A and B are shown apart, each in its own frame.
Chain A
């Protein structure tokens, strides 16, 4: 079979993988799309920052040095819920070497966070173990830590609640008693209706129903949060922070601390990984600035690994009670989700994970009727952030397991069920998502073929082996969560002829610098190594929302392309004069302008730039662009096209389960991703392999184990990130649908690959054992218990609130 609507690049590992399936995927012989027409796009370009990183020369925030730099440290709450009666810092202040001791009693601060429910230094109450109470700046780390131990805090310990279902009960201790706008611990509701689920249920031939839960997980960047803050003598503040959303960061710093945002510069040093954990501002950022202000000296705050686990934002557990119904032919009729999101002590962006999770419930496959009733609960735990995938792995775990349950109930093959209901180009989903390019069906066909699905699924239970699939939908063309979803770009060509792209977008290690440089190089007809990317300083770079929602290639890429095209046109205008040929008859290749009909008439681009600049009345070549995708903020009913493009993909996982120990071995993972176009196939493969590894961790091992509100083992060992041994060969197929709006047709791929992994692995475990995982990570003792019980471990959880048939308030 051949893909119907798109070109396919098949992963380099196909030869090995194809041995598993009975038939080779014949798509591997297909040519990659139109690559030959490009000079740079579609080439396997090594990341521009790789040599510095692998040789240890990259400068991270922790490597910065400056005269008088102090070390900061934070005193954190040992209690999950307590009232602060008093704080005495006098002894700490007396310790030699201490330059500042701050707490709510001696700083100016205003609430921050999505619901303005958080303070950098807690004043009246602490709400989780790790909550910030006081901080010290001292001449070195040891002095700072010694001073922390001398701060006396008198707490009145309060009853705490850790389970979101208990938190939503009337008798639960109220965590934010200062918020009159909410009832109890119900911090937000996300309620959505399309069509008539109850009516559709009466027509369903088959309905499946079940509970699906996920744990508290962490983004675990290898670089912990490190922030440096320094005030100039004239009061101008410079902050070096690995944050993604630098412009919002500046605004929020000003708002919370009463600073003038015109006098704040934010510089993003090289970032040692984030995965969403460093997306926006948090208490430690404000605290660093407050310490610098109180000490009158520059201050560095570097979180320890333990603090990175206990004191920063996490991936929130989300509990789904889901029903899916279909008619006898396998046409999906409805989805009905009761959801409880366990968002922890404060509302950061994690309170909005349902924004993305909801897309999957309403719009993964064609579902005419859907209903979501979601409660976001405060609990006395670390609070939810926006970790890679942002609610989608949790939702996909429920939705995609239910597709296989439904297929089994219908007596259909799950792949046939998926293909029958697959989203197609041109669809507008009931939620208003406008599906433009869509390679979902091709992705499904590819992994079906490569995994030998038709021959092998359901046949290997005797060997405790199984195959499971899962697909996903995710925003791939920005995500309008703010008034603008835009990004600015400046392209300039100075007398040297070197091209500089100044972009609003940030590099986190994901490869955006390289991809943006490739886009500029392609558009201008120059080699990749002629492009320099500047992206780290708010004084210099144009506005951007920031890195999130897999939006950088799409949004920043379009902005860069527009600016590059405008700069090229200026150069061609001058070249036209020099070559005495109309600009339309010129072309640029490898940095040389030539007459298309007579390439011997040519002039080097740098010379063109100089000839334009170095003359009376001359000018520098500089072009600006701002790209804001044609999308809409969702309305109060959560309808609207939030993204200009949607990414799709499908995975098949093969596992072998040891029924004796419950240990699961992942044998194979086949992936196919609709990336629109692979600007840099190597980079796409890296994102997919890395995302898959992160998904494997979620599926099998990663969890912050919490007893009585305390993360019991905040270290890299116990957290359970997978090692190379746990990650099988990942077969990557890039499906190119050439998106109409993406730069050269590209769509976002940054978050994609982890999303379907827990669901695919769970489906594979179900195929191998006959029992259905209801939660992840599928650590061995859970799997063993499920197998021994001989049936699905129906999690005892039900959404605390019965489905509210009325409309919802949107919190």
Chain B
């Protein structure tokens, strides 16, 4: 049994964690922590409850909407239902829609999903392609780092036991940007990604000026694959460019074989899904995809729609 410390401020959380290093664990929505606790993967003496910290919650648009700050306690369901993010960070909303069930999404938080360090987690790939930074509070104050640097290995982040993820900050160009998150699963809902893929492109005229490609579930940590993104930059995102990005992403990842797929299968699927996600991101960036309409999980529209 663990005792619960209900923190009143971020500073109080950090101080408590510092005073109980190694025996305390922050708990946000609890959708991972409670399962880990039941299964004996964690044995905290103290759970530090973050749910009353309003400073951690909320989606806030700044600089005329060019920047969005997402508090770490923001529920996945809030991301899913945010209409502005739906238009301008489609990958993030798509990933949010696919995470667990409505009940789980109503409890689970973006910070919890990131800090649990699960390689197949839904939140990292879309946040990576939207160039997220994370703000971390610790005993010596706040620091900001690129999200890609947060992950240390399966189930691990670089955060110290007395550090707390406070918020994420994403830059959202107001036009000419599109993104997409796709994944492979065994069933079509309530599943973990066997492969998760996000792509984002910025388009000027008919040319890709910037691109990002991120992968989940195919390496010890979520990956940002620059060489795959580079295959898209400077192109009109024709089929050849998308396929090349897929090939490069497949070459860059290091999946394992387990009960949810083989190494070679996962590599093949990375190539396929990167290609599709890049194409859908392009369609969105160029206004050819209906606004606010999510892509099917595997990126294939039902054939009667195609």
Contact = CB atoms under 8 A, between A and B. Distances in A.
Specify whether A and B are partners.
yes
A662 B188 CA distance: 13
A691 B89 CA distance: 41
Interface string B186-205: 11111110110000000000
Contact of A781 (B261, B272, B276, B303): B261
B64 interface: no
Nearest to A463: B303
B302 A701 contact: no
A661 B261 CA distance: 11
Interface string B253-281: 00000111110010011001100100000
B232 to A, nearest CB: 19
Nearest to A782: B265
Given A665-B188, A717-B190, A723-B187, A785 B265 contact: yes
A609 to B, nearest CB: 51
B6 interface: no
A656 B189 CA distance: 17
A707 B258 CA distance: 10
B300 interface: yes
A32 interface: no
Given A465-B303, A656-B303, A660-B269, A780 B190 contact: no
Contacts of A660: 269, 272-273, 276, 298, 300
A700 interface: yes
A169 to B, nearest CB: 27
A728 B304 CA distance: 16
Contacts of A463: 303, 306
A307 to B, nearest CB: 14
A773 to B, nearest CB: 15
Contacts of B262: 781
Contacts of B192: 717
B302 A656 contact: yes
Interface string A487-521: 00000000000000000000000000000000000
Given A464-B303, A658-B300, A660-B300, A705 B191 contact: no
Contacts of A791: none
Contacts of A718: 259-260
A154 B276 CA distance: 55
A123 interface: no
Nearest to A667: B302
B230 interface: no
A50 interface: no
Contact of A661 (B258, B273, B302, B303): B273
Nearest to A304: B38
B109 interface: no
B24 interface: no
A726 B189 contact: yes
Interface string A770-801: 00000000011100110010000000000000
A803 interface: no
A712 interface: yes
A701 B190 CA distance: 12
B259 A701 contact: no
A722 interface: yes
Contacts of A667: 302
B184 interface: yes
Contact of A723 (B190, B273, B302): B190
B269 to A, nearest CB: 5
A713 interface: yes
B190 A712 contact: no
A788 B273 CA distance: 16
User: B260, B273, B276: which has the most chain A beta carbons within 10 Å?
Assistant: B260
Contacts of B190: 717, 723, 725
Given A656-B302, A713-B259, A785-B265, A780 B191 contact: no
Given A661-B184, A723-B189, A780-B186, A705 B265 contact: no
Nearest to B182: A661
A665 B276 CA distance: 18
A153 interface: no
Contacts of A465: 303
A720 interface: yes
A663 interface: yes
B265 A784 contact: yes
Given A660-B298, A780-B194, A726 B268 contact: no
Contact of B191 (A713, A717, A784): A717
Nearest to B195: A661
A726 B265 contact: no
A458 to B, nearest CB: 15
A198 B185 CA distance: 46
Contacts of A779: 186
Contacts of B298: 658, 660-661, 663
Interface string B116-152: 0000000000000000000000000000000000000
A662 B265 CA distance: 10
Nearest to B189: A725
Contacts of A781: 194, 261-262, 265
A780 B259 contact: no
Nearest to B306: A463
Nearest to A697: B187
A720 B186 contact: yes
B303 A725 contact: no
Nearest to A663: B298
Interface string A63-84: 0000000000000000000000
Contacts of B302: 656, 665, 667
A658 B190 CA distance: 19
Nearest to A706: B259
A464 B272 CA distance: 16
Given A781-B261, A784-B268, A725 B184 contact: no
Contacts of A701: 186-187
**Max chain B CB contacts within 10 Å: which of A656, A658, A661, A780?**
A661
A726 B272 CA distance: 22
A304 to B, nearest CB: 10
A92 B265 CA distance: 48
B184 A726 contact: no
A282 B261 CA distance: 34
A658 B303 CA distance: 10
A730 to B, nearest CB: 16
Nearest to A464: B303
Contacts of A460: 303
A767 to B, nearest CB: 14
A667 B272 CA distance: 22
B114 to A, nearest CB: 20
A462 to B, nearest CB: 9
Contact of B269 (A661, A700, A712): A661
B265 A722 contact: no
A717 B194 CA distance: 13
Q: Which interface residue of A460, A724, A781, A788 has the most chain B CB atoms within 10 A?
A: A781
Interface in A213-249: none
B196 to A, nearest CB: 12
Nearest to A722: B187
B261 A780 contact: yes
Given A660-B298, A660-B300, A661-B269, A725 B188 contact: yes
B194 to A, nearest CB: 7
B32 to A, nearest CB: 13
Interface centre among A463, A660, A662, A705 (most CB of B within 10 A): A660
Q: Which of A464, A712, A717 has the most CB of B within 10 A?
A: A717
Given A660-B272, A661-B273, 9 more contacts: A463-B303, A660-B298, A661-B195, A717-B191, A723-B188, A723-B190, A780-B269, A784-B268, A784-B269
8 contacts: A464-B303, A658-B298, A660-B276, A700-B187, A701-B187, A717-B192, A723-B187, A780-B269
Interface of A: 460, 463-465, 656, 658, 660-663, 665, 667, 700-701, 705, 707, 712-713, 717-718, 720, 722-726, 779-781, 784-785, 788
Query: Which 7 A-B pairs rank lowest in CB-CB distance, beginning with the nearest?
Result: A660-B272, A463-B303, A725-B189, A705-B259, A781-B265, A661-B184, A725-B188
